[in-house]
C-alpha cells in the first residue's frame, strides 16, 4: 500500500520538479510549490470547513495556523510551491519557516507535520479517500484554503514565446480556442475526461483519476473569490488575480543574480500575459504541426488538452497537435523557450521566474482560475 501511495503522490510533482528545473535552467536561484469524503463529492469552501470546525469545538483557522507554526509543524514541498504558505504565515505575523514534505502524505499520517500542504485535486484526495492508495481519513481532515485567505497564486496556464505569438497569431488563437473548447467539455464531463486521459497513458489509478478530474474542473470554473466562471469565459485572464500572483512572486521568489532580481521587481502584467489570443475568428494558421509540453505526466490535471485532441477540436481548426509529457530533464519553460515545443503548461510564478531570468514568454490563456493549494490537518489535533 505504501508503494502505491508513493506512486500516486509523486504525480503531484507537476507542482514541484518542473518548477525547480525551470528556475535552475534560468541561472537563477529560487527556493521555489474542496475536499472529498471517501469515494464521494468534495466538501465546500474553507468557510464551510471553518463553520464545521467551530461547531465541533475546534480551533479557528488562525489558531490552527499559529499553533502549527509555534510547534514547527507546517509542511510544504518547497521548489516554488512555498510562496503562498509563506504569504499566509506572514499574514499572521509568523516566521515563514516550514518543514520540507516528501511526495507522500506519510508525515501528516504520522503526525510529524500537523498542517500539511496539499493540492485539492491530488494529495487532499489521497489523505481523505479510502480508495487504492488513499489513507482514508475522511471528514477527520479539515482544510485552510489559500483563496479564502487572500494569498492565492494562479497555477496552470497556457503559454508560448512572445516571438512565436507575434509570428503566428492565427496559430496561437486557433490552438488556444480549441484547447479551451476541450477544457469546457472536460469540466462538463469529468468522468469521461478522466477516461480519455487514462487512455492516453496516465498511470494514476482510475478512482483517483476521476477524483482529480472533478476537482480540477472546480479550479477551472470557479475564481479566487468563489464566483462561477461560465463556459464562455474559460481561459479568461483575471487581471486582479494575476496581479496578486505577480506581487506575491516579487515578494517571495529569491534570486541570487542581481540583474534577474532587478528585472523581477520591474515586471508588469503586460510583460507576462496577453489577451490578444483568446478569440479565433478563422483564417489560415501559419503553422499546422504543433507540440505542447505539459508540466508533468498525463493526468487529469491536463485533461482539457487530451479531450481537445481526442474529440478532434484541434483538427477542426487545421492543427496537428502532439502532447509531450513533462517531468523530464528539460522543463516546460526551457522547452518552449528553445523551440523544442511550441506551447507549454506551467504555473504563472514559473513564467514570472523564467522571464526574470531572461526568457521572453507570454501567457495566452489562464486555465486554472483559482489556487488548488490548501493546508490540511487532522481535526482531532486542534480541539479547543
Q: What is the pLDDT of residues 75-117, one digit of tens each?
A: 999 999 999 999 999 999 999 999 999 989 999 999 999 999 9
What digits encode the pLDDT tens for the residues 339-365? 999 999 999 999 999 999 999 999 999
Work out the mean pLDDT of the chain and round it to a whole number.
89
Reading the block at residue 51, the C-alpha cell is 463553520
Query: In terms of domains, do 131 and 214 share one?
Result: no
pLDDT score for 342: 98
Q: What is the mean pLDDT of residues 329-339?
A: 96
Place of cell 469529468: 190
Query: In terms of domains, do 251 and 285 share one?
Result: yes
Reading the block at residue 358, the C-alpha cell is 531572461
pLDDT score for 327: 87
Query: In terms of domains, do 67 and 29 share one?
Result: yes
pLDDT score for 324: 97
Tell me the torsion sign for CA atoms 174, 15, 382, 110.
Answer: positive
Query: In terms of domains, do 164 and 50 share one?
Result: no
223 or 50: which carries more pLDDT confidence? Answer: 223
Contact 143, 49 (CB under 8 A): yes
Query: In terms of domains, do 114 and 40 share one?
Result: yes
* Dihedral angle computed from the Cα positions of residues 108, 113, 116 and 122, in that order, rounded to the nearest 10 degrees: -30
Query: In terms of domains, do 100 and 186 share one?
Result: no
Q: Which of 152, 86, 79 is nearest to 353 (CA)?
A: 79
Q: How far is CA 127 from CA 20, 78, 120, 297, in A?
A: 25, 20, 10, 21
pLDDT score for 203: 80
pLDDT score for 202: 81
How many whole angstroms separate alpha carbon 246 and alpha carbon 272?
A: 9
Query: In terms of domains, do 108 and 171 share one?
Result: no
Residue 163 in this model has a pLDDT that exceeds 70: yes
How many whole angstroms separate alpha carbon 237 and alpha carbon 38?
A: 34
Query: In terms of domains, do 135 and 162 share one?
Result: no
Residue 14 in this model has a pLDDT that exceeds 60: no
Query: In terms of domains, do 132 and 194 share one?
Result: no
Q: Which of 153, 163, 359, 343 is nearest to 267 (CA)?
A: 359
Query: In terms of domains, do 300 and 326 share one?
Result: yes
Q: Which of 16, 26, 15, 11 is nearest to 333 (CA)?
A: 26
pLDDT score for 329: 87
Which of 63-67, 229-233, 327-331 has the lowest average pLDDT?
A: 327-331
Name the residue range of residue 179's domain: 157-366
| Phi and psi, residue 280, nearest 5° | -115, 120
Query: In terms of domains, do 200 and 250 share one?
Result: yes
Query: In terms of domains, do 260 and 131 share one?
Result: no
What digits encode the pLDDT tens for the residues 118-161? 999 999 999 999 998 899 999 999 999 999 999 999 999 999 99
What digits encode the pLDDT tens for the residues 277-322? 999 999 999 999 999 999 999 999 999 999 999 999 999 999 999 9
What digits encode the pLDDT tens for the residues 26-70? 333 333 333 333 333 333 444 444 444 445 599 999 999 999 999
pLDDT score for 56: 59
Residue 17 in this model has a pLDDT that exceeds 90: no
Angular region, 37: left φ>0, alpha ψ -120 to 50, beta rest: beta
The total of structural domains in the chain comes to: 2
Amino acid at each position: 500500500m505504501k508503494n502505491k501511495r508513493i506512486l500516486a503522490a509523486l504525480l503531484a510533482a507537476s507542482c514541484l520538479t518542473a518548477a525547480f528545473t525551470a528556475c535552475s535552467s534560468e541561472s537563477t536561484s529560487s527556493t521555489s510549490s474542496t475536499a472529498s469524503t471517501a469515494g464521494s463529492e468534495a466538501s465546500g469552501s474553507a468557510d464551510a470547513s471553518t463553520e464545521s470546525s467551530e461547531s465541533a469545538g475546534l480551533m479557528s483557522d488562525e489558531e490552527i495556523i499559529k499553533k502549527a507554526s509555534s510547534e514547527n509543524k507546517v509542511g510544504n514541498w518547497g521548489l516554488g510551491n512555498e510562496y503562498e504558505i509563506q504569504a499566509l504565515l506572514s499574514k499572521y505575523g509568523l516566521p515563514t519557516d516550514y518543514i520540507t514534505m516528501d511526495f507522500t502524505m506519510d508525515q501528516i499520517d504520522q503526525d510529524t507535520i500537523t498542517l500539511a500542504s496539499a493540492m485539492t485535486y491530488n494529495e487532499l484526495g489521497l489523505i481523505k479517500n479510502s480508495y487504492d492508495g488513499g489513507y482514508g481519513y475522511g471528514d477527520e481532515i479539515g482544510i485552510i484554503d489559500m483563496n479564502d485567505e487572500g494569498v492565492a497564486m494562479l497555477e496552470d496556464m497556457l503559454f508560448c514565446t512572445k516571438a512565436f505569438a507575434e509570428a503566428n497569431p492565427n496559430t496561437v488563437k486557433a490552438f488556444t480556442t480549441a484547447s479551451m473548447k476541450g477544457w469546457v467539455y472536460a469540466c462538463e464531463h469529468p468522468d469521461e475526461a478522466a477516461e480519455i486521459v487514462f487512455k492516453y497513458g496516465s498511470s494514476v489509478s482510475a478512482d483517483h483519476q476521476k477524483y482529480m478530474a472533478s476537482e480540477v474542473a472546480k479550479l477551472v470554473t470557479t475564481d479566487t473569490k468563489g464566483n462561477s466562471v461560465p463556459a464562455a469565459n474559460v481561459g479568461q485572464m483575471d487581471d486582479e488575480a494575476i496581479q496578486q500572483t505577480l506581487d506575491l512572486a516579487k515578494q517571495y521568489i529569491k534570486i541570487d543574480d542581481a540583474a534577474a532580481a532587478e528585472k523581477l521587481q520591474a515586471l508588469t502584467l503586460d510583460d507576462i500575459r496577453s489577451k490578444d489570443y483568446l478569440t479565433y475568428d478563422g483564417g489560415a494558421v501559419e503553422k499546422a504541426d504543433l507540440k505542447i509540453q505539459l508540466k508533468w505526466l498525463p493526468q487529469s490535471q491536463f485533461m482539457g488538452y487530451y479531450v481537445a485532441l481526442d474529440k478532434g477540436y484541434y483538427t477542426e481548426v487545421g492543427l496537428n497537435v502532439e502532447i509531450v509529457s513533462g517531468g523530464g530533464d528539460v522543463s516546460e519553460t526551457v522547452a518552449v523557450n528553445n523551440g523544442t515545443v511550441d506551447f507549454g503548461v506551467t504555473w504563472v510564478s514559473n513564467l514570472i521566474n523564467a522571464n526574470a531570468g531572461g526568457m521572453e514568454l507570454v501567457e495566452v490563456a489562464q486555465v486554472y482560475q483559482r489556487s488548488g493549494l490548501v493546508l490540511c490537518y487532522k481535526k482531532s489535533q486542534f480541539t479547543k
